[in-house]
Amino acid sequence: MKNDQKKNEAPVRLPVVKMDGKSYFVDERLKQYRNTEDPHDFIEFEKDEVIVYLYSRAQALEDGVLVDISSLAEEAGFKCPVAVTRAVYELLNNTYQPGQSFEGRAWDLLMVLHFEIMRKKNTDIIYFAPYFNAPCHVEPKPYEMWAKCGPGDNHEPVITVMFLCED
């Protein structure tokens, strides 16, 4: 690669993980986790440890890939954080008709999800299909979604809601 090409490249943003309450960059080149605050604090990778892919929930929320609706979810009775994908957020924010609001549509989604969770206990994946209006159809139609309860960045339970075609 020529030097002038290198000058035009954007810096690479290293993924960040949390361990023991500290944030570390994942530096595959040096095979180390490097403390984001103290560059002298690092942890060597285990022998033959390979990071295949790392994208934290916090990064997804920061990047807008996920949108946090936890405050509304808490009002609806959820006891852990809830986020929706950007595509689901766009559907919830599609309030072209009078009387529609993001909060109302999100509440509808959360209520349908809550009822399905109560119906299908002891599973970490729920499939459901709330009905919504949209400009492309006259009557409300079901939008097939699924929700996954899994570990968050610090191994706490979190729920992510997405369309069937998303993962």
Burial of 159 (0-12, 13-18, 19+ CB in 10 A): buried
Q: CB within 8 A of 24, min separation 6: which ones?
A: 16, 17, 18, 33, 34, 35, 36, 42, 43
| pLDDT for 113 | 96
Angstrom CA distances, 109 to 29, 52, 77, 164, 165, stand at 44, 34, 13, 15, 17
| pLDDT for 79 | 94
| pLDDT for 158 | 96
Tens digit of each residue's pLDDT, the chain (167 residues): 455 545 555 455 667 777 777 888 777 777 788 888 887 888 888 776 665 556 789 989 988 999 999 999 999 999 999 999 999 999 999 877 777 899 999 999 999 999 999 999 889 999 999 999 877 777 889 999 999 999 888 889 999 999 998 87
